[in-house]
Amino acid sequence: MLTESAKLAKNCLLVISLPASDTSGSPQNLPHSQANDVEVGGTRGREALDRLRNVVGRVESSWRPASAEEGFEIVRRRLFQPLADPAQFKDRDVVARAFAEFYRTQQAEFPPECRESDYEKRIRAAYPIHPEIFDRLYTDWSTLVKFQRTRGVLRLMAAVIHSLWEKGDRNPLILPGNVAIDDARVQSELTRYLSDNWVPVIEKDVDGPNSLPLKLDRDLPNLGRVSACRRVARAIYMGSAPTTAAAHKGIEDRRVKLGCAMPGESPAVFGDALRRMAGAATYLYQDGPHYWYSTQPTVTKLAEDRAEQSKRNPDKVAQEIEQRLRKDLERKGDFARIHPMPATGADIPDDLDARLVVLGVDHPYSKEGNSAGEIAARAMLESRGNTPRLYRNTLVFLAADKTRLQDLDEAARKYLAWESILTEKVQLNLTPYQVTQAETQKTAADGTVTARLPETYQWLLVPVQGTPQAQIAWEALRLSGAEALAVRVSRKLRSDELYLTTSASTRLRMELERVPLWRGDHVAVKQLVEDFARYLYLPRLRDSSVLLNAISDGINLLTWMQDGFAFADGFDEPAARYQGLRAGQMVILSDAHAPGLVVKPEVAVRQIDGERADLGSRGTPKPPTGGGPGTIVTPRDGEQPKEVQPVAARAKRFHGTAVLDATRVGRDASRIAEEVISHLVGLVGARVTVTLEVEAEIPNGAPDNVVRTVTENSRTLKFTSQGFETE
């Protein structure tokens, strides 16, 4: 049975098919009766055409695609029950107000239209779907040939809503970042209008059990807490997949955040996720603030492959880290010298000034115990090559964290990969955009390495000793801050009083009495300098000038008898008096090796008072007279004879002979050097001579090759005498 419009169309066709009339207006070659019928038919045909035009017009207007605002109502009516309860209207208004307020307070993070009051009305109209979804569907996806604006939106949103309902999603609005692209039904609706090669792109870089966003969210708790990378990837896909062939590709970063962030969340978290995705994704492109997915891989994949291949060449990565370390250590902080990455203790001189030793990447530190960093630091502290180290209180060590070293190594490999790609950009035939992308990624990788370097080198290893009898202990101090490494070390040591750039004379007086450091009634300045550089139970000084300034201040004090000390140029043992004794006056010490004595204040007071008394009785100072021990000093008038007390004679020579185990010569010689020779060498003015005597009896005789080898080596080592005997 024909519809009314079909009947009208048939009548119109019949009328139009009639023969044309002649110039008089009557049909040609027709009987009169037929002509009348034609006139009537012509009138009816015109009426039928008018009616058909009206009907077709009505049908045509119903086929016009709905706008985004009309789509709000269509989807809501078809997929959701209408709001009936006043509480539901209140909930809708509360959600709309929260989102609108969120966008207004964070204006710089979102597109400009979000701050307008009309946007809150759009949220209420589209509730519970965010208007951004409709904007993307009606603006971007509708440009696809096969995508039907109304039916396509209904099909897609039905799949999305059903997936969220099954998962128990309780978000206040459905945003682009909430679209579960990993769901097979949703993915089918999003790919049916695109080419087939979009499926692997989704599985690798957008959404899926093995996708990059899911991996990043698992590895980074700050992002994984809100699934930031996953939501960002979904929002970018929804806004860029249908427009990859357009002249202006991509979706702006502010619109990506609009499709992800909800009230109570920080937009900066999604910005961080966006940057990490751009640096690691294979199919994600970036041009300034715009991001988009493409079916063609970026140079990121090539960089990943090269970074993975660099694991086979760890020396190149270590060299890159070492270069960056040396550049960072150009800022020395309070250290006069820094020793970066020494191979052994032989590379560290045994001097009097304090220095920072930075261990290489092959000696990281961990709190697990017996870490490579602590073992290396102990060895370098104990010896300089084959010689025991004398000045141990001058070294502190900086080591890399064992766990964070892996992150630094990865960042350095990525930087080297991007650098190699730019070096070979002509051979690789890179497009201008790919060159720009590689330059951007190289800059980002360079910044990552720079940031991770202080995060990795965070352990300060300091040898300490509470008392002269205590064992050496190691303090592991964690550093913080963004300054240069040596600057951070200096600040930490100063704050913990493990490294002094200045010292008060009162503290020096305390150390002199506590240990004690006096050698009898005085101590040589040179001896004090060596003591502070040698013994770990004393404060660690930057250099000898710190000690010399403290001595000068202590001599200059008006209260030197209580808080300071005196100074003498020397000591006359036969006369038992100090030469050039002075205190309470300015004395400037500039040479740690110059002769001079720090004298106990009570001893200095006795000599000074005696000299004053002698000066007062005679008018002129007179040196004390006296002979050897036990002699009688001739008294003055009215005085009783006094016997000069004998002065105990001091040992002035030492000699010793030791037999070493021929199979443990190095060990025994090292112990002798440490326990005996080092103490003798430290005495002021001491001249120590060590002679090594080798005597071997060979009952069966020495072979010619051994005789030749030993003779040549002895000559090379400058033996004063050597030779083999037949009897």
Q: Domain check: are 352 and 458 in the same one?
A: yes
In 10 A of CB 72, how many CB atoms?
20
Whether residue 725 lies inside any domain: the answer is no
Burial of 278 (0-12, 13-18, 19+ CB in 10 A): buried
Query: Within a domain: residue 658?
Result: no
Question: Percentage of the chain surpassing pLDDT 90?
Answer: 51
Cα 267 from chain centroid (whole Å) = 23
Query: Within this chain, do residues 549 and 670 fall inside the same structural domain, yes or no?
Result: no
Q: Is residue 287 part of a domain?
A: yes
Contact 411, 454 (CB under 8 A): no
Domain with 251, as residue range(s), is: 68-297
Q: How far apart are CA 318 and CA 311, in angstroms?
A: 11
Return the pLDDT at 146: 82
Check residue 261 and give its pLDDT.
95
Residues ≥6 apart with Cβ < 8 Å to 43: none
Rounded to an integer, what distance in angstroms lies between the CA atom of residue 278 and that of residue 464? 48
Q: Is 397 helix (H, G, I), strand (E, B) or coil?
A: strand
Q: Is 464 left (phi over 0), alpha (psi -120 to 50) or beta?
A: beta
Of 13, 29, 62, the residue at which a domain comes to its end is 62
Is residue 637 included in any domain, yes or no? no
Residues 477, 617 within the same domain: no
Q: Residue 644 falls within a domain, yes or no?
A: no
Give yes or no: residues 216 and 90 share one domain: yes
Per the domain annotation, does 645 fall within a domain?
A: no
Q: Is 364 domain-assigned?
A: yes
Backbone angles phi, psi at 151, to 5 degrees: -65, -40
- Looking at the structure, do residues 98 and 17 belong to the same domain, yes or no? no
Same domain for 157 and 193, yes or no, is: yes
Structure tokens at 89: 């209207």
Angle at CA 438, nearest 5°, toward 434 and 444?
145
For the chain, the domain total comes to 5
> Based on the domain organization, do 147 and 127 belong to the same domain?
yes
pLDDT lower than 50: segments of the chain: 1-41, 49, 52, 55-62, 621-648
Bridge partners (DSSP) of residue 643 are 632
Residue type, 615: L
Rounded-to-integer distance, Cα 314 and Cα 319, Å: 9
Are 567 and 595 in contact by the 8 Å Cβ rule? The answer is no
- Pick from 37, 62, 87: which residue ends a domain? 62
Residue appearing with tokens 């033996």: 719
* Judgement on whether residues 469 and 541 belong to the same structural domain of the protein: no
Q: How many CB atoms lie within 10 A of CB 16?
A: 9
Q: Is residue 631 part of a domain?
A: no
| Whether residues 216 and 89 fall in one domain | yes
Ramachandran quadrant class, 370 (left: phi over 0; alpha: psi -120 to 50; beta: rest): left
Q: Establish whether the linkage from the previous residue to 516 is cis, with ω within 30° of 0.
A: yes
Domain shared by 137 and 226, yes or no: yes
State the pTM of this model: 0.57
Q: What is the pLDDT of residue 526?
A: 92
Q: How high is the pLDDT of residue 237? A: 94
Q: Are residues 72 and 49 in the same domain?
A: no
- Single out the residue in 36, 62, 88 at which a domain terminates: 62
Contacts of 182 (CB under 8 A, 6+ apart): 207, 208, 209, 211
If asked whether residues 477 and 531 sit together in one domain, one would say: no
Structure tokens at 493: 């040591």
Q: For residue 112, give every residue at least 6 positions away whose Cβ sits within 8 Å of its Cβ, in sequence order, or none.
A: none
Q: Which two tokens stand for residue 338?
A: 């820094």
